[in-house]
Amino acid sequence: MVDMDRDPVVVFWEVTQACALACIHCRAEAQPKRHPLELTDEESMKVLEDLTRFDHMPIVVLSGGDPFMHPNLFKFVERGIELGLTMSVSPAATALLTRQRLQRLVDLGVSRISLSLDGSTAEAHDAFRRVDGSFERTLQGMADARDVGLEFQVNTTVTRQTVDDLPAVADLLVASGAVLWDVFMLVPTGRGQTDDVISAEEHERVFGWLYDLSGTVPYMVKTTLGQHYRRVQVLKRLVAEGKSDVELTPELVKSMYRGLPTNDGRGILFISHLGEVFPSGFLPVTAGNVRKESIVELYRNGDVFRTLRTPSQLKGKCGQCPFNEICGGCRARAYGATGDYLEPESFCVFQPPEAKSHATETARVTGS
């Protein structure tokens, strides 16, 4: 088990913000050209070496923008793997997403790529990505990855524009070969707007549906930036085991949750194309810069990171909630909505009970 106070589980590294797409939700507000002050190759190699100093070496996801827009992406992948890091890549569905490049990733030893699919049809997806043909390129990328033996997951962003299409996307993925469907709950940052975030009640409905779906499809289902899905998972299991009237203590909650309770700054670390270190790509509060400081030191001892890993510092209902050690609410969404990353999750319907979670309340919350 990873000690997330000392080591991140996943490091997302935005190697460039350059991208040929113009997605309406883009966290990075990606641009057509690379920034002249991106980390140099020498600095990038030092970043990889620094990451090996963690006790438990993290998964490293090279993202963007479009990482294929960086001319030395493959050098970074090769060096990371030489150092013993688990390397993953998150490319955009552009003309650069070719079978040859995917084969190169396989040959180097990349563990997985992620591809984004935000609609079940070309009309829906391409409108979201703002580039005609990106839907077909995504499907072709899946087929090419499958053919060359490269494991892939599919990421879908949930917004008011995409939420009703989720069942059709889930159906489309059944025969795709995807190993994981990662459902991203929108955070109002970058080009993402608060008005595009679904309501707290809609979050709850989606979580209940995802839980029921997860046992019926050939791929794993998880959420990103939807930490309160973990509460739904625990409550649904309590109902299924006939324990819906038990006292919701933090100890019980932790015993019922089966995953790693990552959150912004807790098991998650983000490095920007300029070397800035953030708790995640969706929480734009910098802890420092790799050009000046060690990533290990920033993660373990940076004030922002240490605060985010202390559930007792959460404000309002998130601070009182028995689920705050496995959930804690999305800190990035709290920041995007209020400007304070310690404020309560703005899109959560749950009200912490004073003593017990009774069956009627559990059923109401989880949709059972």
Residue-wise pLDDT tens digits, 114-155: 999 999 999 999 998 888 999 999 999 999 999 999 999 999
pLDDT digits (tens, 9 = 90+) for 166-193: 999 999 999 999 999 999 999 986 666 7
Residue 365 has pLDDT above 70, yes or no: no
pLDDT digits (tens, 9 = 90+) for 240-295: 999 888 888 999 999 999 899 999 999 999 999 999 999 999 999 999 999 999 99
What is the predicted pLDDT for the residue at 363?
A: 46
Split at pLDDT 50, 70, 90, the class of 357 is: very low
CATH topology of domain 10-229+260-305: TIM Barrel (3.20.20)
Where are the chain's structural domains?
A: 10-229+260-305
What is the predicted pLDDT for the residue at 188?
A: 83
Cα 248 from Cα 223, distance rounded (Å): 23
Q: Helices 73-82 and 41-51, interaxial angle, to 10°?
A: 30
Single pTM value for the model: 0.92
Average pLDDT of the residues of the chain: 92
What is the predicted pLDDT for the residue at 200?
A: 96
Residue 28 has pLDDT above 60, yes or no: no
